Structure 1
């Protein structure tokens, strides 16, 4: 294969990846607003109640399934989506990127997480959905319910962190590992919010959709900045 044909094949792969990411971003945004529309019309109430009660002992909505140990584990998992933990982890990764001389990536990461937090807060204030009152809350809550801030910020933070760390890593298997861990942690945080009774399932689905779209958008921005020489090139690309 000639150098020209190799370059052409690489360009096609890059364009395909970019197009796929754009489609997924659009799909995530569409899913979020579709859920928001259904929520405002009350169409999700039956679904939300069914899922929430499925995680409780039949006939006793005050008792989560799985026993006390599972409830403690869910409280531990939900903390992974809290503001303090996410800020601490983000600060550590920003510092790592600075040490790795990835200053552009570090700045993009910091702005991404701060922007995601602002968007989450604004949507919560705008929709102002009450928290579930069907079951007792398993942990303290202070804000509105839609979208789930823990779920959205877990997606925004962990997926974006995975993207930034993957850019600084040459080995493909390590890149995949970062992304898989980020997705698993994001899912566990969302599930814990429903299990603890502090969010309706649709709150979590909306948070995941918007958070994933945000993280994918950051990946696209990083690629665009890389082409312009405004951010460090991805290793192994």
Structure 2
């Protein structure tokens, strides 16, 4: 992995302001969607129902795709798998000895995201879709999608970490492609399998992106006005 110099003091505050603006936008969208779901806004429920009925019909008729999606959602993009990936990266950072603080930050962010996800689920208590011929099952409340939220948090944090470590062009593009496929793909599987409404997945994406943006702000804030020597690595 090729390491670039740390950002200059003049560019860091600007980047931090950009992240803050993104976080504010994500927060506003997350709150709006949460309110619409909580009050059961009819137009949203109507769209959710139309999309879910269509995808469930496809899932029942195309068993091969449904089986593939179950493998992906239960093993590849499962929240436990994503957290294990995050844990493995944290262990690697500790092994490097120069990045223990980054490892702690990564682990704490993932833990807080899980707590936030379960808290919102309990507060909103949205029922999951119910079908006479289900192709899969899931537990707990529907909003937000834990799969979508966890994938977004983990992929977002790991992409930021790769960028900060100065990943080469090939590695960076490969990582971005894998992250996009994972985040979008897991959302598609949850709707296809009939265990989430589409707005649950959108809510998971928004809240996951918000958590990642807030975590980056927390990490970068103390460093915004500080000069670091060339070749400095996250600690």
TM-score, normalization by structure 2: 0.83
Q: Are positions 1:51 and 2:51 aligned together?
A: yes
Counterpart pick for 1:152 among 149, 157, 181: 149
Query: Partner residue of 1:214?
Result: 211
**CA separation of 1:15/1:227 partners in 2, compared to 1, >3 Å: closer, same or farther?**
closer
Shift of residue 176 of structure 1? 4.6
Query: Partner residue of 2:178?
Result: 181
Which segment is superposed worse, 87-96 or 119-128?
87-96
Matches within 5 A, 1:134-145: 134=131, 136-145=133-142
Do the aligned partners of 2:128 and 2:142 also contact (CA within 8 Å) in 1? Answer: yes
Query: Partner residue of 2:83?
Result: 87
Q: Which runs of 5+ in 2 are unaligned?
A: 1-6
Counterpart pick for 2:161 among 156, 159, 164: 164
Deviations 1:2-50 (A, max 9, x none): xxxxxxx955543433222112111111111111111123221101011
**CA separation of 1:219/1:66 partners in 2, compared to 1, >3 Å: closer, same or farther?**
farther
Q: Which runs of 5+ in 1 are unaligned?
A: 1-8, 58-62
Deviations 1:141-197 (A, max 9, x none): 111001111111111122112222332344355345434422321111111100100
Q: Are positions 1:31 and 2:29 aligned together?
A: yes
**CA separation of 1:197/1:170 partners in 2, compared to 1, >3 Å: closer, same or farther?**
closer
**CA separation of 1:132/1:105 partners in 2, compared to 1, >3 Å: closer, same or farther?**
same
Query: Partner residue of 2:188?
Result: 191
**CA separation of 1:15/1:173 partners in 2, compared to 1, >3 Å: closer, same or farther?**
farther
Higher relative contact order (CA 8 A, sep 6+): 2
- Output the CA distance in 1 between the equivalents of 2:216 and 2:232: 11
Secondary structure (helix, strand or coil) at the match of 1:146 reads: coil
**CA separation of 1:64/1:18 partners in 2, compared to 1, >3 Å: closer, same or farther?**
same
